[in-house]
Structure 1
């Protein structure tokens, strides 16, 4: 099983891959480059923004919900028009959005972090049917937001802690208890980044600095890892016609100039076929 290059554009900080199930199309971001990227039969596509953008959910055939440094937006893929849904930490210029994902109820979770990775400056929020609520605070690097297929819990991490957390949810998708430790990657010195859950409940976690995505069973056991050429793997997403392809974004942020040169794979977006049984991302309900 090997990764192939899906898109050779080299993002400074690739993130937030989303397979749009109606369009059969992958979208992702270069956070630092302030761009939404995609490709279709015509070739590469991209949309430029005036601030960092990092994560998305699909609303319908032609609209995405996009998280930027200052707000959640409805974004029209046909003409680039955007409408603000709600503000996101607009009272401070020190933070930006980071990892985010739609939940099984049609809500959208978004994490923030300090632009200079300031300790404890970030948080995790949920938008659901017009209600925007802060769920968790005191986070340095929000990541790995994803959901168990039985709707019992959400997963997340503060990458700085090297710990994956489990958060129990109630019938409406709101937290019903305190976060609890799911997997501690500290003993292996691994840094959890973005994550996605497949149909079986297996958690697929990109590991920054390790050039891989690792799979963990619901019982916390390590199953396997798949390698990607970019050393800073940032986030996985299942897609393709049968959702068996794992797409993985990567970054060249923080790499020495001699490593992050123009011919290196770091920052590219990769595809690994026949990895597992993924599922479509839920539609965001506005």
Structure 2
């Protein structure tokens, strides 16, 4: 698919991730995980702002409560208020040693689903990560899904009845029936033949297509709801991380990227690694779901 991919923000992040669009403020939000920074870009006036976080911010969700964001920090969940900068801790995460929070998204029912990532001090990553869900009453549950080394690609079908997810190292995007319970897991897309690349973050469009950023493969790919490859968009960087629809009509696809793990020689060639990109795919997205939990409930507990 030939589209005009442009640099929206020259950010140069080590690990840009977690991107989503806020329809209330008409702004793009994302994180540079390794820098422990939350970023915001307002296309209407071109302003860019950032907020330091108390530890690495892996992913987040918009909230029904105005002005609040739900944070999946490396070791804990918390609420963040844009106006005051207040952080209200919800709880620490019951996760394995040498793991941290990673990719996550709010489901259509207003709950936050996220996975964890294994980052050992020595040796290879192992399947020690898990998928968790924070409900509106702020209770946390582990979902009965396969253990993973790098949890990614958390996204939901337009009707909320299917959850997509993956272990990036296994190179398969999986799916399951989703609701109060999760159903049997099956393969949505098999990418084991993709040399030098692996699935990273995903988003779903208004037609039910799944857009996946493929780390190391310099591309974003759209899959139809039946898993068939539909469109391939070449990206001007080797490590795209996550897409998100944005803009007034949700007609622009924004994509974060990273230079994490690149040598100086590789970065001299990949000059836009870590920037935020944008293009118009010809399909619109869906309004980002909001977490239904109440930040004031933290104080009442």
Out of 133, 144, 147, the position equivalent to 2:141 is 133
| 1:153 corresponding residue in structure 2 | 162
**Aligned equivalents of 1:236 and 1:111: distance in 2?**
17
Give how far 1:263 is off.
8.0
Query: How many residues align structurally?
Result: 282
5 Å matches for 1:164-243? 164-170=173-179, 172=180, 174-175=181-182, 177-189=183-195, 190-243=197-250
Query: Does residue 72 of structure 2 align to residue 67 of structure 1?
Result: yes
**What residue in structure 2 maps to residue 56 of structure 1?**
60
CA shift for structure 1 position 91: 6.8
1:21 pairs with 2:26? no
Partner of 2:297: none
**RMSD (Å) for aligned C-alpha atoms:** 1.7
Relative to structure 1, the CA distance from residue 105 to residue 219 in structure 2 (aligned partners, 3 Å threshold; closer, same or farther) is: same
Residues 160-211 of structure 1, C-alpha deviations (whole Å, 9 max, x = no match): 00001011113x3x31x22111111112334100000111110000000111
Shift in alpha-carbon separation, 1:34–1:133, aligned structure 2, 3 A = same
Q: 1:205 to 1:156 in 2, by over 3 A?
A: same
The 8 Å contact of residues 199 and 214 in structure 2, kept in 1 or not, is answered as yes
Unaligned runs of 5+ in 1: none
Deviations 1:205-236 (A, max 9, x none): 00001111100001111101112212101000
CA positional deviation for 1:118: 2.1
Q: Shift of the alpha carbon at 1:273?
A: 2.0
**Corresponding residue SS for 2:193:** helix
Distance in 2, Cα, partners of 1:115 & 1:78? 33
Contact 1:252–1:266 (CA under 8 A) maintained in structure 2:
yes
How many Å separate the matches in 2 of 1:61 and 1:260?
39
Task: Tell me what 1:104 maps to.
Answer: 108
In structure 2, the CA distance between the partners of 1:262 and 1:11, relative to structure 1 (3 Å rule), is farther
- Please give the alpha-carbon distance, in whole angstroms, between the structure 2 residues aligned to 1:145 and 1:55: 11
Question: Partners of 2:38 and 2:24 in 1: how far apart?
Answer: 18
Alpha-carbon contact 2:188-2:226 (below 8 Å) kept: no
**Is the Cα contact below 8 Å between 1:124 and 1:142 reproduced in 2?**
yes
- Tell me, in whole angstroms, the C-alpha distance in 2 between the residues paired with 1:63 and 1:42: 22
Aligned to 2:153: 144
Task: State the Cα distance separating 1:90 from its structure 2 match.
Answer: 6.2
**Deviation larger for 186-195 or 242-251:** 186-195
How many Å apart are 1:264 and its aligned residue?
1.0
Tell me the CA shift for residue 261 of structure 1.
Answer: 4.0
From 269, 279, 287, the counterpart of 1:272 = 279
TM-score, length-normalised on structure 1? 0.94
Task: Kindly state the Cα deviation for residue 79 of structure 1 after the two structures are TM-superposed.
Answer: 2.0
Other structure's SS at 1:160 match: helix
Q: Where in structure 2 are there 5+ consecutive unaligned residues?
A: 294-301
Structure showing the higher strand proportion among its residues: 1
Q: Which residue of 1 aligns with 2:299?
A: none
Distance 1:104 1:263 in 2: 37
Residue deviations 1:236-263 (CA, integer Å, cap 9, x gap): 0011000010000000011121122498
